[in-house]
Amino acid sequence: MKKDPRFRIPLRYLVPLTLLLAIILVLLLAPRRSRPREVEIDRTAAVVEQVRRIGELSSAGYYEELVLTDRDDSYLGELKRASGLNRLTGNSDFVIICKGRVRAGFDLAKVQGQDFAVSGDTLRVALPPVEILDVVLNPADYELFAGHRTHEQTTGLLLQAKQRLRADAVRDGVLEQAERSAENQLRKLFTAMGYNEVFITFRKDYLLPRE
């Protein structure tokens, strides 16, 4: 039985066709078979820029988990929302989950000579105004939940998160807690040193509004 010459592939086409098929097959299978190569992070040294002597009494801490959403207000974003297309394609809002910490206390470097008075077994200490010492939101403290933004846009949102953390901490009483805790701790220390009467007061020129 002889084959119809119309269905026979000429030999000159067969070799390139086989090669092309082999390349396509390799390109399709390679990403699945090969282990994905990690991004190489170069080891660089940390350089100390400044060493500063401080005297900070941190007497209260505040931890908060909060979610911030940067809504996509662009024309396309609005269009997707209005048309219901975002149900199929997903919307382009940016959602970030932050776990921040706030430390509150006193800058003891601001204690002046007249703030410290000893008379017999009586000690009087006037502490400087309570303040927020740090608001910490490091790269390990947030999680990108949805969406994409540039580095600068993400930074802008993280700064908003820090402002909110600070405000929430003040509203939830971190400054009052810092005063109470410092008073207890210092009273315990000074009493152990032999002072029977310990008076601890706070300068009331607050650096932050409490409402």
Partner 1 sequence: MKRSALLLLLLLAACSRGPSLRDQLTERLSSLSSTAELGTVEYTVRKAVRARDEGEWFKIGNRRILFSCTAHIKAGINLDRIPLDKLVVDESARSVSLVLPHAAVQSINLPPEEIRLEYEDVTGFRQRFDDRERQALLKQGERDIVRDLPKLGILAEAETNAEEFFRGMLAQMGFENIQIRFE
Binders of partner 1 among residues 100 to 159 (CB under 8 A) are 101, 103, 105, 108, 116, 118, 123, 133-134, 136-140, 142, 144-145, 147-149, 151-152, 154-155, 158-159
The set of residues, in sequence order, having a beta carbon less than 8 Å from that of 85 and lying 6+ positions away, is: 79
Q: Does 65 engage in binding with partner 1 (CB under 8 A)?
A: yes
C-beta of 64 vs 129, nearer to partner 1: 64
Binds partner 1 by CB under 8 A, chosen from 1, 11, 15, 45: 45
Q: How far apart are CA 145 and CA 60, in angstroms?
A: 30
Binds partner 1 by CB under 8 A, chosen from 9, 11, 46, 82: 46
Q: How far apart are CA 105 and CA 132, in angstroms?
A: 6
C-beta of 6 vs 114, nearer to partner 1: 114
How big is the chain by its Cα radius of gyration, in Å? 33
In the range 174-193, which residues lie near partner 1 by CB under 8 A?
174, 177, 180-182, 184-185, 188-189, 192-193
Torsion of CA 163, 164, 165, 171, to 10 degrees: 110
Q: How far apart are CA 116 and CA 126, in angstroms?
A: 7
